[in-house]
Every structure is written in C-alpha cells, then in structure tokens.
Amino acid sequence: MNIREFLSPVHQLKLLSLLLATLIWLFVTLEKNDEADIPLTVTYTNIPAGVKVKAVGSYRLSVHTVGPRILLERQRLKGVSAQFDLSAVKEGVNTLAVFEGNLVPISGVRFTRVSPVTIEIVRDPAAGAGASNINR
C-alpha cells in the first residue's frame, strides 16, 4: 500500500505544509546570531632540549565567539587552537600573549575575546637532560 493511497489529498497537503513549516522554523532558528565560549587548545613548539616547561596557574582558556548558531556549532566541533613557539623562552617566568588576531575562525564566526589574555610559563632548567614535559 502506497502512502498516497493511504492519505487523502487534504491530509497530504497538511503533511506537506507541516514539513515546510518545520524547515522554515529550522532555518530561522539556526540563522539567529548567538554567543558562545569555546575552549582554546594550546600547543607548544620548539621546546628547548633538557628543559621542563610548565604553565603557571589553573588556566581555563576559552574564546568568546559571535555568529549564527549553526556556524558556532561547526566551530565548536572544529575547535580553536593556538600554537606558541618556545624557542626564545628564557629562564624564569615568561608571559605569552594570546590575541584574537592570531586565531582563525571559520567564515561567518567572529572571535571577540580570549580569556585569559596572557599565559605565564616557567622554564625550569633543573629538569634534567631529555625531559621536555608540559603541564597545563
């Protein structure tokens, strides 16, 4: 038995109008601008040999984003990451700045704020040879 045979033309039109109304509602809902905080993943490159680097403090890095809801979900799935080159890190406490301009969002999404803006990194030369660990 075919669905057309089961439903009368009036019921077919009602079902079609319900389907179209649902699609229009989805498009309107997902196109609204929204804001979200997305976690920021930080990776460190060029860590000097024999040096242990550890981030100071209990940072919960995040990026405040603005854009259509559907694009924010896509950005959340893709994630946001920043990369820091530690080749010029000196002994003691070093401060690295995270700027919105250094991060690349997907098209249609805008980054408005990175929290926190700076990361303090302590270079510990007493870690011994061959050790290059990062604790966040």
Burial class (CB in 10 A: 0-12, 13-18, 19+), 85: exposed
Same domain, 49 and 105: yes
Structural domain that includes position 116: 32-135
Asked if residue 48 and residue 10 are part of one domain, the reply reads no
**Residue 118 pLDDT greater than 60, yes or no:** yes
Asked if pLDDT for residue 127 goes beyond 50, the answer is yes
Residues 109 and 89 both lie in one domain = yes
Maximum C-alpha span of the chain = 82
- Predicted confidence (pLDDT) at residue 1 exceeds the cutoff of 70: no
Residue 128 has pLDDT above 70, yes or no: no
Contact 108, 68 (CB under 8 A): yes
55, 96: one domain: yes
pLDDT above 90 covers what percent of the chain?
17
**DSSP code, position 34:** E
Which helix H or strand E contains 102, and what residues bound it?
A: none
Number of H helices, E strands in the chain: 3, 8
Is the peptide bond prior to 116 cis by the omega test (within 30 degrees of 0)? yes
The per-residue pLDDT for 130 is: 42
Question: pLDDT per residue over 36-75, tens digit each?
Answer: 999 988 888 888 776 666 666 656 888 999 999 888 999 9
Examine the domain organization and report whether 49 and 101 are in the same domain: yes
- pLDDT at res. 3: 67
pTM above 0.75, yes or no: no
